[in-house]
Amino acid sequence: MNAVFERFERLTAFLNAYSKKNAYEIPEFTELYPLGLRLNIRVKDGDKYYLAITPKKSFVKKGTSAVDLNLEATEDFWLGAFEGKYSVISGVMTKKVKVRGLRSSFMPLVIFSSIVSLCSTIMR
């Protein structure tokens, strides 16, 4: 199985376990994004994944879906992000991450980058 997909599976498993254990929802997150964050993750010249981070259940699956945010980066970048070497936001600013569909606001990108950064530290 692909290493990037495995990292996103671990991320969603961690988020699901955390929300189940703590029965906690961040009010600002659920008010702004009641359906959660839904994005397509693309590995440059590789696989594509649909990632959903929701207040009730998060998941990742192979393929894509209709979403507002599409992110593309190399496999090395995604693995480095999960190791805490990069942040998604800095990747966008240094053009290591391509963003398509940032239609409604910059906030979903900021939230996603923060989740990956925080969880990369916790999941090591």
pLDDT for res 74: 96
Residue 27 has pLDDT above 60, yes or no: no
State the pLDDT confidence band at 24, using cuts at 50, 70 and 90.
Answer: low
Among the ranges given (12-26, 76-90, 99-113), the one the predictor scored with the smallest mean pLDDT? 12-26
Is pLDDT larger for residue 118 or for residue 74? 74
Spatial separation of the C-alpha atoms in residues 103 and 94, rounded to whole Å:
20
Spatial separation of the C-alpha atoms in residues 99 and 65, rounded to whole Å:
15
CATH code of the domain covering residue 85 = 3.30.1050.10
Task: Answer whether 91's CB lies under 8 Å from 73's CB.
Answer: yes
Spatial separation of the C-alpha atoms in residues 68 and 39, rounded to whole Å:
7
Task: Answer whether 66's CB lies under 8 Å from 38's CB.
Answer: no
pLDDT for res 95: 95
Torsion of CA 6, 12, 16, 18, to 10 degrees: 90
Residue 32 has pLDDT above 60, yes or no: yes
pLDDT for res 21: 73
Nearest CA to 78 among 86, 89, 67? Answer: 86
Residue 97 has pLDDT above 80, yes or no: yes
Number of domain units in the chain: 1
Domain that holds residue 37: 3-123
Tell me which DSSP letter residue 115 carries: H
Residue 51 has pLDDT above 70, yes or no: yes
